[in-house]
Amino acid sequence: MVVDPSSAVRGAGLRATAGRVAVLETLASVSHVTANDVYRSVCEQLPTTSIQSVHNVLADLTSVGLIRRIEPAGSAALYERRVDDNHHHVICSGCGAVQDVDCVVGHAPCLTPSSAAGFAIQAAEVTFWGLCPECQTATR
């Protein structure tokens, strides 16, 4: 199921502006990138765009659920197109490389705390930290 970016934007109830379409197109090919990375790539198609407008577009697309924002500790917010599958992330504590890992259960919340203090739990965000293969080789 591949939806072209402008239909995806319209399907979410937003106007398919050039900026929104360009950001979504960028995130279809790369994932876990910062707003600055997105900006650099969007600039190639839309030289007049600004970092502020990219930030606005990222916020719009995140709020309608077209993209997902993750905020690993110690890193800038990262954006990705893969949404709605409750996947998790494994992050290298050496170089910051991020990879997707599938959710074992497949839907949120995949973890239930032993005591939820009366909260109705909706999601569990799991981040696995470790050393990527390159960093393991480098430390050996």
Binding site for Zn ion (CB under 5 A): 80, 92, 94-95, 97, 100, 132, 135
Q: Which is nearer to Zn ion, 53 or 127 (CB)?
A: 127
CB of 91 to Zn ion, least distance (A): 9
For residue 97, the minimal CB distance to Zn ion (Å) is: 5
User: CB of residue 58 vs Zn ion: minimum separation in angstroms?
Assistant: 15
Alpha-carbon span 106 to 17, nearest angstrom: 33
**Residue 36 DSSP class:** H
Q: State the number of CA atoms in the 13 A half-sphere of 31 facing the CB.
A: 13
What's the rounded Cα separation, in Å, for the pair 110 and 97?
24
| Nearer to Zn ion (CB atom), residue 10 or residue 87 | 87
